[in-house]
Amino acid sequence: MRQYAMIIDLNRCVGCHACALACRAEWDIPAQDGYRRNWVKNLGPAKTSHGLSFTAYPGLCNHCDKPACVPVCPADQIKKTFTEPKTGKTRTMTVAATWKNPFDGTVQIDKTRCLGCGACADACPYGARYVNTNIANKDLDGDGIADKCTFCKPRVEAGLRPACVQTCIADARIFGWRDEPKIADYIKKGAIRLSSAKVQTGPNVYYYGQPKDLELLTKTSTPQEMP
């Protein structure tokens, strides 16, 4: 399976929050605490073994290789057929209200079937999901609908870049297939995933930067326990 991935180059990121604002505008995210698909946290200044660091933690759904959010969804499972746009190849899978796409690796939500229970949000070790309680599926008697970054799937399928990537004033975000040179080269040069001994979901957002900045990012922002 091919996998979409994103590189965030901390050497370029200026912590301006334009990515988060673009995401909020593109997807009509409620202006409430805890409602977010995309965020930027300023880190430091702080001492590291490589010197003083002042950097940022731009975060979003990692579209993990083994997403913890998918198996916990309690919605009734149905058969769903996925189609690869370029080849027309299809694959039918049994899924609940959230799944990992077999052709692009993105993790998606069927909002018409979401129960709003919050199980997926509770399961994510990165805090990348939230339940929008401003809307709900009345037919399902839910308390809201789960939401998160989709890697801007509708935009990408239309030939556009994700809103956060397009808006970044410093070109600090690089999006594409994980095996493409522009992504693979960063990984070969040392781009890291925010994984720990007990959190091994295989995130597909990678961070690249100076050793001092990666040390601070890892120390402050890597989840150490599964929820």
Q: DSSP string covering 95-123, please?
A: E-SEEE-TTT--EEE-TTT-----HHHHH
- Position 142 scores a pLDDT of 77
pLDDT at 33 over 90: no
Q: What CATH class is the domain 4-221?
A: alpha beta
Q: How far apart are CA 29 and CA 78, in angstroms?
A: 28
Asked if residues 69 and 124 have their Cβ atoms less than 8 Å apart, the reply is yes
Q: Is 165 exposed, middle or buried (0-12, 13-18, 19+ CB in 10 A)?
A: buried
> Sheet holding 173-177: strands in order across?
173-177, 4-9, 205-208
**With bands split at pLDDT 50, 70 and 90, how would you rate the model's confidence at 27?**
very high
Q: What is the pLDDT of residue 140?
A: 79
The pLDDT value given to residue 32:
87
First and final C-alpha spacing in the chain: 27
Mean pLDDT (the chain, rounded): 96
Give the Å distances, CA to CA, from 141 to 96, 115, 136, 155, 180. 17, 7, 8, 31, 44
Mean pLDDT of 159-165: 98
CA dist 35 → 20, 38, 56, 67, 163 (Å): 11, 9, 20, 20, 17
| Percent of the chain surpassing pLDDT 90 | 93
Greatest Cα-to-Cα distance within the chain, rounded to the nearest angstrom:
56
Instruction: Look at residue 193 and tell me whether its pLDDT is greater than 90.
Output: yes
- Tokens 């939230």, located at residue: 130
Q: What angle do CA 89, 95, 99 make, to 5 degrees?
A: 80
Range in 30-34, 38-42, 101-105, 222-226 with the lowest mean pLDDT: 30-34
Contacts of 188 (CB under 8 A, 6+ apart): none
